[in-house]
A and B are shown apart, each in its own frame.
Chain A
Amino acid sequence: MAVDDNRRVPLYEGSTQYRNWRFSPDKLQETRSSLNAAAVAGIRKAFEADSAVPRTRQPGSSANVSFLTPEEENLLVKLYIGKISQLCGLFKFSEEVEATAITYLKRFYLKNTVMDWHPKNVMLTALFLATKTTNHPISLEFYASHIPKTTPSDVLDLEFLVAQSLGFEFSVWHAHRALWGLWLDIQTLPDISITTLSQVQEIALQQIRASRLTDAELIYTPSQIALACLSLASSDLAKQWAESKGSLSVLAIVENIQQLIAGEGTDPEVEAVREVDKRLRLCKNPEKVPGSKAYLAKKAEEEATALARRSKKADDVKKAMEAGDPFGDELGMREGALDDDD
């Protein structure tokens, strides 16, 4: 376990990542299935609202729409993980930014579905947010102008939603960092040939990158993933290290991660994704399509609620003032109560 600098391990265990963003494979699947089911039910309803004539009586009604399965949603997300890497190459962003943006994208889709929010936009926002949370901010203007068909507001419109979906938990522990710690540790092992080492490290890092296309980081700790990637590069070295720590048992977990990376750690097949994306155009939530009837209806509903809330607030204050001086000299209270932009 203790691949990181020893002092960091207990800290990792107090982190939001450890507490809130690790799941069993079953739990992951269950989360995605129930999100998907809820979205399908919601979108069916929205389709009805979007049509004057009930869709069920028309060809192409929601009954006939072929919604995406959880697996298909995941496939699309995976495609956009690859796009993040491409963009990071274009902007020359650091490994830290890239890995963080990928984590954000994955976490976002544990709270939302592709049918509500298309990963293309979410990916752009997640990446922009990651530049800020890793302390490498760039101007939005610059960012948007270097991405085809993208305006600043495309990026900004989803920023709050993305931050909210992440639970405002921006800090991420990465496997590539754990690999670095492991690396320093290995160099202290006896009988290690430094010449083969640098080659092993390069391969291990490639495996870390491949692991980002999988669910590994949602299931395992950064140190476990790092050790698995090292093991893929040189199983002897990984074993030697585990032996030196007296924790050969970790190698069983490592085995699972290796299989995950070998099975899932490649970009999805373009043809398959294209088909999914085509179907997504027909089954995406009309409430999220600006201009559609369902979108306008939802907006109107939201505004009515906000208006009701505001006038209730104003009312409360008025009543209170008429009733005498219930707030005493707390001037700020009135300000606070009337503060309608919250």
Chain B
Amino acid sequence: MDAVEKANAERQKRWIKDQKVGEGTYAVVYRGHEASTGKKIAIKKIKVGQFKDGLDMSAIREVKYLRELHHQNIIALFDVFSSKTNLNLVLEFLDADLELIIKDRSIVFLPADIKSWLAMTLRGLEFCHRNWVLHRDLKPNNLLIASDGQLKIADFGLARDFADPGYKMTCQVITRWYRPPELLFGSRYYSTAVDIWSVGCIFAELMLRIPYLPGESDVDQLRTTFRALGTPTEEDWPGHTKLPHYVAVGQFPKPPLRDLFTAATADALNLLSKCLIYEPRKRISARDALNHPYFFALPNPTNPAKLPKSASQLAPRPLEEVDGNVDPSGSAAAPGTKAAGTAARLKRKASVSEAETRAVARRLDFTLSSSQRSP
């Protein structure tokens, strides 16, 4: 056997597959463990033989970026090995995602919880952006939650680097509901701001408990967006009518965010509005967002270990999950209407004393290391 094959066989032996836990578009995911330590892991098995162009781009991107990005809020890739025609990624085992938690009606979010999840998302994202990586598919379903409450950005199958300024990129990225207007208008030169828009949509969804901008088609997505945030003017967003796929979808006034997000603090709404600025260059960066007063005002973000968990987190997860591009059961009232806000105002089931304990949870550490600080 070649040295390379031998090394691969050694790697393969380190990891034991236990049980199938899920299936994505191009992969089957198993729960497993490390042979020597028993540490729980996930094995994502990607079938490669089926692609006529060989190793497919999603797998390549996922491996390429996860190999380099080591951060508390980014899913850890422990190992990669191949088996016949499959590529196996050995990942940190994460038993829930934010979508599951948002949809679990039995739990109520405290403002401090939302702050904590948002902070962890932004920290992972800031690290990606600092490494010149765009994620391009942020949505609650791709924000996984570890058993210790840490949030991890996952699914780098659409990621790419953007070190080359002015390089043309595809606008067919990001699940529709989280896709910024510049992509809907077909912009081919975009940057980190696209991910920030998605974060804004996720932030809103955490407060509303239903997707904020659920468009039914690409054009409807624009309409839904403008209905919620007002149709952009030339002054708001210079040049947007010149973008390749520009269409006029109607003139909507800009309603105050306060009308929908009745329970949010002024700081929260200010940060939200900065994530959802139309002009991409004016949209807040992940770094600046982390330094926004929202994160320094009370309440302090909940300690991740004390964040609410979904009951279904312990049971095996459903194999089919609602795709962001489809209408989710149509249960809740359409966003953009005031009724949606009631979900956010529901009282948490947890006892008062627990809520109080959680409220004094240790403040998250926002200090950036010296390297992060240097210009």
A contacts, CB < 8 Å to B: 6-8, 10-11, 14-16, 35, 38, 96, 111-112, 116, 128-129, 132-133, 135, 137, 139-141, 152, 155-156, 159-161, 163-165, 167-171, 177, 330, 332-333, 335-336, 341-342
Contacts and interface: CB of A to CB of B under 8 A. Distances in A.
Contacts of B132: 8
Contact of A341 (B52, B53, B64, B85): B85
B67 A10 contact: no
At the interface, is chain B mostly helix, strand, loop or mixed?
A: mixed
Interface of B: 2-5, 7-8, 17-21, 30, 45, 47-48, 52-55, 57, 60-61, 63-65, 67-68, 70, 80, 82-86, 88, 130-132, 160-161, 163-164, 371-372, 374-375
23 contacts: A6-B374, A7-B130, A7-B374, A16-B68, A132-B53, A132-B60, A137-B53, A140-B53, A152-B52, A159-B54, A164-B4, A164-B5, A168-B63, A170-B64, A170-B67, A171-B67, A332-B19, A336-B17, A336-B20, A341-B86, A342-B17, A342-B45, A342-B83
A35 B2 CA distance: 11
A169 B82 contact: no
Given A6-B374, A15-B68, 11 more contacts: A16-B68, A38-B3, A111-B4, A112-B3, A132-B60, A133-B60, A135-B161, A140-B53, A160-B82, A169-B67, A177-B163
Contacts of B3: 35, 38, 111-112
A155 B51 CA distance: 13
Given A7-B130, A7-B371, A128-B54, A330 B63 contact: no
A164 B375 CA distance: 37
Contacts of A133: 60, 64
Nearest to A160: B82
Given A164-B4, A342-B84, A336 B70 contact: no
Nearest to A285: B2
Contacts of B60: 132-133, 170
B54 A140 contact: yes
A39 B83 CA distance: 24
B55 A171 contact: no
Contact of B130 (A11, A168, A170, A171): A11
Contact of B375 (A6, A155, A163, A165): A6
A6 B375 CA distance: 7
Contacts of A164: 4-5, 7-8, 82
Contacts of A111: 3-4
Contact of A137 (B52, B57, B82): B57
A128 to B, nearest CB: 7
B290 to A, nearest CB: 15
